[in-house]
Amino acid sequence: MEKTSGIPLKIKIFIAFAAIYVIWGTTYLAIRFAIETIPPFFMMGCRFLSAGIVLYSLARFRGQANPSLQQWKTAVVIGILLFFGGYGALAWSEQVLPSGVAALIVATTPIWMILLSYFRSPVSKIGRSVILGLALGFLGMVLIVEPTKLLGGQSVDLAGAAVLLFGTISWCFGSVYSKYGSLPKSPFLASGMMMLCGGMALVLVGLLTGEHKALASASFLSLASLFYLVLFGSIIGFTAYIWLLNTVSPAQVSTYAFVNPIIAVFVGWFGGGESLSPRILMATILMVAGVLAIVSRKSEKRHSADKRNSEKAIIFKPQIKGQESQRQSFNTGRRYELPPLDEYHAQEKMS
Write down the pLDDT at residue 122: 59
Could you tell me the pTM of the whole model?
Answer: 0.74
Write down the pLDDT at residue 220: 96
Write down the pLDDT at residue 335: 34
3-state secondary structure (DSSP) of residue 196: helix
36 has pLDDT over 70: yes
Rounded Cα distance between 48 and 99, Å, is: 19
What is the pLDDT averaged over residues 108-134? 72
* Per-residue model confidence as pLDDT tens digits over 283-311: 778 877 877 777 666 555 555 544 554 44
Write down the pLDDT at residue 35: 95
Nearest to 100 by CA among 149, 154, 138: 154
Contact call for residues 325 and 338 (beta carbons, < 8 A): yes
Q: Look at 285 and 86; give whichever has higher pLDDT.
A: 86
DSSP string, 8-22: -HHHHHHHHHHIIII
Rounded Cα distance between 112 and 134, Å, is: 9
Residue 164 neighbours by CB under 8 Å, 6+ apart: 89, 90, 93, 97, 102, 105, 106
Write down the pLDDT at residue 121: 66
* Per-residue model confidence as pLDDT tens digits over 160-196: 989 999 999 998 898 888 878 888 988 889 999 999 9
What is the pLDDT averaged over residues 16-31? 92
**Confidence class of residue 84 from pLDDT cuts 50, 70 and 90?**
very high
324 has pLDDT over 80: no
336 has pLDDT over 50: no
Buried b (16+ CB within 10 A) or exposed e, 85-99: bbbbbbbbbbebbbb
CB atoms within 10 A of CB 4: 8
Residue 18 neighbours by CB under 8 Å, 6+ apart: none
Contact call for residues 110 and 257 (beta carbons, < 8 A): yes
**Confidence class of residue 317 from pLDDT cuts 50, 70 and 90?**
very low
Least confident of 67-76, 142-151, 288-297: 142-151
Rounded to whole angstroms, what are the CA distances from 307 to 96, 284, 293, 340? 48, 34, 21, 21
Cα of first residue to Cα of last residue in the chain, in angstroms, is 26
